[in-house]
Structure 1
């Protein structure tokens, strides 16, 4: 049983951390808007989180392969608890200053750059290879459930007590997560794959890129995710509510998002039991379903059909994400797994702001429905394109 193994402490740590983090976007948005009265301040704070995260991801991956991952996770969660606690204190005491909240957001984004690669790679240390898909499915199911409940709880807490208290809850979640993660079994730092007489972080990062580009099934799928995030996240987040709201009202977009979340949750639960022989083949085929919601949006389908296709999109995203994480953890050398994960994350995350910036001008020139439709088509092509590579099609679940 997964929850009777060392994985239990990691799972509980992730659970309490996710519960707090799911509330933060709503709480932070309302807290900053209430304190400043300026939507521009919120954009600056969010940028202060994203920039250091992207800039330090490769360093975070190198550190995750150089030091014991338990240590990296505990220190990063303690630091995140401290920064979020200070943000909550600033807001609750009425001492809001943009530079201060921005600096704390910058520190939080930097810490997250060290957290995400270590979290992804430590699972392979805690779980037997045969149980990796179940572990990732359990984490994905929990994340989907938390994302459904968290924003609603945050909204209620903001109304009753204010955004500062919800952010304080996130800080407490990080500290509790650090306590759970400290109970993970001690593991030595992974040995560097190609030791140098004078090793350094830059050498580690360069070696990570070497591993990344020399695995024939890895980089085609990672590049596909780059294109998918480029054409999906911005159009869906920006054109989705705009086009749906114009046609069927603002409440309709909430219905669409709820059905998408249900699809994510349901497929994550199914993946806990489903046996997949060729994970990338299955993941790429299922992942193409994610394009259906954008295509439906571009075709101007009514809310019921759009919600149905959003459900299918959620199913596709869950299946592709779980199989991808499992493939990395099973088939990438553990000594390089954090660095490979950080490169994969960097490609995915860097594409998102580019797409968000481009979607507005493109929609203004060619129309929102046209842009959504072509983005959906590009999504489907990108999801299926890696199947042209035989190593992607042939990769099996058995460890190498």
Structure 2
């Protein structure tokens, strides 16, 4: 079952990473409209963010393999529907937005179930290794997927790229279908000759009481997690600055492909830019644990501030090579940011509150990206791409560099003789 779980998660990670590039090229091929692209991309993120807390509660009540299986099947069907429309030459933005929203709902319910599934299936001594392998698969998917989606789209059309995504989700669902976690044993023991219906009713009453208790505890835990966040100025400042980064990423990922397709040589240009960024991301992740970093939080914020470069390149409509280089540097900074941020947070936040604090981190940071995707085209229509990109670049640099200041009094630097920071 462990191998089935690993294979299923690898397939699901690759399929998930294929979706953004496929949708971007499909919408731009159909309309060339940045506003339409922003709506389609945001349609997945909005329900995902809204329903993540609900998905977490549901994941605690239902066997995790069932939730993960249903999530992959739902995404398989949504991608299959997109593939059919595109292969038939039907490019309705409303349909693509609705189907993307369905996929976002599936992710919101499926993602919280995966850690529980790992715990249920993998023995304690092997869980760290399994999580590391899943993390490697996700990182590799981020590199392979844009090139794969771009190649299939250029060679055969976006419909076939969506069909490949649907097939991968179907294969992931097939692997999960053979996994069974062990249900929790009931605490109710019936007499040897007790009536079966009385046993069932007793079990249901116990389960209902447990569910009510979990709901009440859920509210208290959320409030306690927010208190942990508010009590750490450095964490809140950095998280809000990361939210600015995600908003600007939403602007860039809407306006840059439109500019690349229209003015820099077409779909190939955008594929080159995206792939440069994914290579930079991976190299940054690999470099982070090998550098002698004494102030990891300063490096984290400087890495986020590097997003100034592609925003400036977009503003001046730089050639493909220049924009690809700028995006490479920015994503290299993100590659440094991710493992260092995880390490700092894990060291500074008490383990009892780590999960809740990280959920607030994700909600605050990621909620701004769909907003950026949705408003990019309307804002560009008012201000122009040049002014918007330059302003956004300055804001992302200022916000993230300014967030270093609260951390200097809150976090101690590593001693000079300490070994380089290692990624946990």
Which bracket does the TM-score occupy, shorter chain normalised?
A: 0.7 to 0.9
| CA displacement 1:183-215 (0-9 Å, x = unmatched) | 899999xxxxxxx89824333332332232223
Q: How does 1:239-318 map to 2 (within 5 A)?
A: 239-245=255-261, 247-250=263-266, 251-271=268-288, 273-274=290-291, 276-318=293-335
Cα distance per residue 1:22-72 (max 9 Å; x no partner): 3334556789999x99999998776653332121123335566x579xx54
| CA shift in 2, pair 1:222/1:38, >3 Å | closer
Cα deviation digits, residues 357-399 of structure 1 (max 9, x gap) = 3333433333211211121111111221221013665376699
2:77 is equivalent to residue 81 of structure 1: no
TM-score (norm. length: structure 1): 0.72
Matched, 1:366 2:358: no
Q: Distance in 2 between matches of 1:78 and 1:157?
A: 32
What residue number does 1:142 align with? Answer: 140
Find the residue that maps to 2:216 and give its secondary structure: coil
Structure 2: tracts of 5 or more residues without a match: 186-212, 415-420
Q: 2:38, 2:254 within 8 Å by CA — same for their partners in 1?
A: no
Conserved? CA contact 2:83–2:160, under 8 Å: no
The 5 Å alignment of 1:64-213 reads: 71-72=63-64, 75-85=67-77, 88=80, 105-116=100-111, 138=136, 141-152=139-150, 154-155=152-153, 159=157, 162=160, 165-175=163-173, 178=176, 199-213=216-230
CA 1:117 to 1:316, structure 2 compared with 1: closer, same or farther past 3 Å? farther
1:53 alignment counterpart: 48
Aligned in 2, Cα 1:381/1:63: closer, same or farther, shift over 3 Å?
Answer: farther
Contact 1:211–1:336 (8 Å) recurs in 2 = yes
Counterpart of 1:394 in 2: which secondary structure? coil
TM-score for the superposition, normalised by structure 2:
0.69
Computing the radius of gyration over CA atoms, which structure comes out larger, 1 or 2? Answer: 2
- Contact preservation (8 Å) 2:64, 2:116: no
RMSD: 4.8
Structure-1 residue corresponding to 2:208: none
Gaps of 5+ in 1: 1-5, 189-195
Greater shift, 361-370 or 270-279, is seen at: 270-279
- Tell me whether 96-105 or 220-229 shows the greater mean CA deviation: 96-105
